[in-house]
Structure 1
């Protein structure tokens, strides 16, 4: 019996976790451990670049979507990406997969676990562990409504007269939803995100046992990275904010301890779209909680720098970044299946500047989701837009649009940490307003699905924006993967050479040094530095002059000789 695991269970549950439940849990852990023979990669390096995608991203008539995706990946993406983050590919009822009906199955339209294993032969995998809530259409919830023994405490019933005004609300929807049980009684259940997403009651030991079994199943099925979705809300105590509670942190530590016991090398990644200081708390002491946290402040700060043509805030924030240990790193991204979160800007930018950015993006076609505040007001929660369209005015030429987009992704690939690129970004996608109208929600603007023929035709079309984006980003990724200076834990120094030019210097343990320059403006910038002799990696040109001219939105990666 692993003492670390037992101590964490005792800390969270005390005497409520019965002896037979503890025996049951440790038996499940030992069985899973005996079934896992694969040795996972320990830690990370510059080779690690993650692709974020849906399992049903591409369609081909008469075929399941996972095998279709695997063929596309092997043809177009395998050389650039080490990991594939499959967004929830389980049976689901809403929220594009995040309302899970059955954690242990693959959605039949996507395929089955054999198809996941086929993809695993080409790439390391990242799974979503949607641990806070599950679908109202799930069998677990049906058994709760039928009041079956063993399920009576699976979800959180609250007297609707309870004062819940202090609870942090991520969306402008009711916190409690009434449901009628088999005996005709009505219970108001905790639904943080929607009436179809019922929060699980982790205060009940039987829920923890069931969810640990989900985690163990994912490890058995080959998950190298495990993303804990919306994990900050996992423990509830009325009268508190019900986010980031100590029990939540302890449960994440427990998940990590279990993963390390059965599959050493597994990386636990927390997804908490919150202000930066709260986000980094999920590193714990640097050895006991998440190995990676989502770097939620990076996407809106890059946008702010681009639209203001000023890198100073981005640079100051980057200079403040510090990791608690070499056992941790950042999970960096610019775009994802969700919108661009604004809460991570709070505490970094004044609210007035955040609202100005939101208004500017709205004028250029972005949509906005809102959240309710405890005082009854509401604030913008996220911007819904493709990152391509977020960066550039509508009237921009494709050349300018491409330059801005490449600059932003070069920043992503230059930052310390492991970079992740969303499928819509590598495909050069634009806002999908038709998808929003059809789906009825804003996030569909950046979730377009394609037939295999249409996307391969677009990527093969000489000179198209999609092809140019694909080629430029693929080139940048290949360069990053070749150079030790881009190791996630390599030293990083950030300097604003002026208000428009950001410099990131990465230095590896082998003393390889790469200086990255970014012109966040539509004006040429002349930089006076002692670079020569050196080589600019992106263009492949040698540098022999101490003066460099950066074109508008140009990026240079300079390898000092």
Structure 2
């Protein structure tokens, strides 16, 4: 049996799971052949290697908008490329350009046209130019699209492509179980040529949800994936994918059909481009998030959404209990899968992934502390109808300017400590552009947009940024230099491979530590951070360092001369103690 026949049979089986109980006009066999044709697999089809890791310790992703840097007379994507070449260089080999398509709201996540680049940013040649130099990650905004796009216009007219792409329901339906990430009403009434209809809007009334019960919607998104692959995209971020499949009288989140769609898309992508990977963006409680690994047959990577709130909570309380408990509970990602670690993003610090890990009292303390540092809070309606904090909107640099006791002098060291922890953890690190630069809360943009998330979506005047980065006394210069220093150390260590062994260390509540070991078992790294604003003693004897090895602190660049020594760690100091100094 040849590879195409095997692929077609696998797709038919996956389609039978997705559309079980749904009346569709074409057979599973015909639909599978359409999918193969749409992806161009008739002319180029590769057999994927199971459980292959398409990443190493050298991989890291910079997260940025296409217009994070503005330069007079220059398209923002070209300015972004210049920034990457001039200030990031080879330190970071991947870039996630947040939605770069024409859009109507939500800073890009309400897509009007999936096939075009927003003219204000540049064009496809600018995207491809960046993709030739770095691993390019693109959003696949798959759950919903803009109400101002041609698809929705055709839905209102009742004819043309898109006229049957949207999920509708009745206000009389039982929708009480539906999980909502927003406080707006779920259904939006729309006058159409067919009369009044109520379209499903998980997020906002400008973001109308697509109906994957219609196979044409699936085929359309497969054609979009093909276009992005041709443009050089190698990492697909499936935005809000947990909400993709809806069923009345259900929670309409994480349904079996959603998981099967993810598996099908992985099947198509890995047969087309073996190095391409998928990351699912599922901002949900931790146990639910983990299910998107499947059996190494769904997402290659999942966002470690619990890390940001737990790490921030650790650093503002000086107590690592909850972070340590969570890390001990996290299963190692099997080969072929990987965690995607981050502590800041274009969105805020999500609180749903902390549910069940932090108590309501601890979450409220965290929320109140972020508000005292200038942050804003976004809310959601819970299953019981009460308002609960959904997300903390604040720049990470401001979030770590103090503790529950208030602001202090340790903000920079606390901020660097957070990244030293994140860079060393099992997984691929993702760094938000404003963390790389130490950008502060943007109150002016918040005032202009009235959207809480705008506080951490600053657009830099590029000439002003250049002056800041050239000034050695500037905090932005200092942050970038120290971040790149840590990154360059990390990239050389085999024990920091995203799938290298990891064990949590028990060193009390003020020292957060874990041990990493390379797959060949030759390199070990003990990663220990003082997460408090007091000097704390680290007894090296408790680490059981092998006495026949020579040990070094990678960050300080100094040898460890006495394995029984008591080392005093300054507030928020991190040590990476290794038995092998790798230089390349």
TM category, shorter: over 0.9
Match of 1:225 in 2: 235
Tell me which of 466, 469, 488 is aligned to 1:478.
Answer: 488
Q: Does 1:410 align with 2:420?
A: yes
1:387-413 deviation per Cα after TM superposition (whole angstroms, max 9, x unaligned): 11111239746x621100010000100
Three-state SS of the structure 2 residue aligned to 1:268 is strand
Tell me which of 67, 88, 104 is aligned to 2:115.
Answer: 104
Tell me which of 396, 408, 429 is aligned to 1:387.
Answer: 396
Match of 1:303 in 2: 312
8 Å CA contact 1:177–1:189 kept in 2: the answer is yes
Match of 2:26 in 1: 18
1:251-287 deviation per Cα after TM superposition (whole angstroms, max 9, x unaligned): 00011001011111211111111110000010111x2
Q: Which whole-Å CA distance do the structure 1 matches of 2:419 and 2:376 have between them? A: 22
Match of 1:555 in 2: 574
Tell me which of 452, 464, 469 is aligned to 1:454.
Answer: 464
Q: Which whole-Å CA distance do the structure 1 matches of 2:402 and 2:579 have between them? A: 36
Match of 2:245 in 1: 235
8 Å CA contact 1:228–1:271 kept in 2: the answer is yes
Q: Which whole-Å CA distance do the structure 2 matches of 1:33 and 1:218 have between them? A: 18
8 Å CA contact 2:212–2:218 kept in 1: the answer is yes
1:447-493 deviation per Cα after TM superposition (whole angstroms, max 9, x unaligned): 00012111111111112111110011100000000111100111111
Q: Which whole-Å CA distance do the structure 1 matches of 2:483 and 2:575 have between them? A: 14
Three-state SS of the structure 2 residue aligned to 1:75 is helix
Q: Does 1:331 align with 2:340?
A: yes
8 Å CA contact 2:53–2:335 kept in 1: the answer is no
8 Å CA contact 2:540–2:566 kept in 1: the answer is yes
8 Å CA contact 2:11–2:32 kept in 1: the answer is no
Tell me which of 510, 532, 551 is aligned to 1:534.
Answer: 551
What is the CA distance between 1:502 and its match in structure 2? 1.0
Match of 1:442 in 2: 452
Aligned length: 555
Residue ranges of structure 1 left out of the alignment (5+ in a row): none
Q: Which whole-Å CA distance do the structure 2 matches of 1:72 and 1:382 have between them? A: 30
Match of 1:253 in 2: 263
Quick one: structure 1 residues 73 and 117, their matched pair in 2 at CA, closer, same or farther if it must change by over 3 Å? same
Q: Which whole-Å CA distance do the structure 2 matches of 1:17 and 1:346 have between them? A: 43
Three-state SS of the structure 2 residue aligned to 1:327 is coil
8 Å CA contact 2:53–2:336 kept in 1: the answer is no
What is the CA distance between 1:124 and its match in structure 2? 1.0
1:326-382 deviation per Cα after TM superposition (whole angstroms, max 9, x unaligned): 111100000000000000011111122111211122122211000001221110000
Q: Which whole-Å CA distance do the structure 2 matches of 1:71 and 1:113 have between them? A: 17
Q: Which whole-Å CA distance do the structure 1 matches of 2:335 and 2:25 have between them? A: 34
Q: Which whole-Å CA distance do the structure 2 matches of 1:442 and 1:517 have between them? A: 35
What is the CA distance between 1:513 and its match in structure 2? 0.8
Three-state SS of the structure 2 residue aligned to 1:16 is coil
Residue ranges of structure 2 left out of the alignment (5+ in a row): none
Match of 2:12 in 1: 6
Trace 1:48-67 onto structure 2 (pairs within 5 A).
48-67=59-78
Match of 1:172 in 2: 183
Tell me which of 150, 162, 167 is aligned to 2:173.
Answer: 162
Q: Does 1:317 align with 2:326?
A: yes
Trace 1:83-122 onto structure 2 (pairs within 5 A).
83-122=94-133
Q: Which whole-Å CA distance do the structure 2 matches of 1:387 and 1:216 have between them? A: 36
Q: Does 1:278 align with 2:284?
A: no
Match of 2:219 in 1: 209
8 Å CA contact 2:511–2:531 kept in 1: the answer is yes
Higher mean C-alpha displacement, 467-476 vs 305-314: 305-314
Higher mean C-alpha displacement, 155-164 vs 532-541: 532-541
8 Å CA contact 1:127–1:223 kept in 2: the answer is yes
What is the CA distance between 1:35 and its match in structure 2? 10
Three-state SS of the structure 1 residue aligned to 2:189 is strand
What is the CA distance between 1:153 and its match in structure 2? 2.1
Three-state SS of the structure 2 residue aligned to 1:498 is coil
Three-state SS of the structure 2 residue aligned to 1:195 is coil
TM-score scaled by structure 2?
0.92
Q: Which whole-Å CA distance do the structure 1 matches of 2:372 and 2:103 have between them? A: 34
Quick one: structure 1 residues 544 and 324, their matched pair in 2 at CA, closer, same or farther if it must change by over 3 Å? closer
8 Å CA contact 2:132–2:232 kept in 1: the answer is no
Quick one: structure 1 residues 527 and 55, their matched pair in 2 at CA, closer, same or farther if it must change by over 3 Å? same
Three-state SS of the structure 2 residue aligned to 1:118 is helix
What is the CA distance between 1:152 and its match in structure 2? 3.4
Quick one: structure 1 residues 46 and 32, their matched pair in 2 at CA, closer, same or farther if it must change by over 3 Å? farther
Higher mean C-alpha displacement, 94-103 vs 317-326: 317-326
What is the CA distance between 1:560 and its match in structure 2? 2.2
Q: Which whole-Å CA distance do the structure 2 matches of 1:359 and 1:458 have between them? A: 32
Q: Which whole-Å CA distance do the structure 2 matches of 1:486 and 1:325 have between them? A: 15
Q: Does 1:513 align with 2:521?
A: no
8 Å CA contact 2:166–2:211 kept in 1: the answer is yes
8 Å CA contact 1:9–1:17 kept in 2: the answer is no
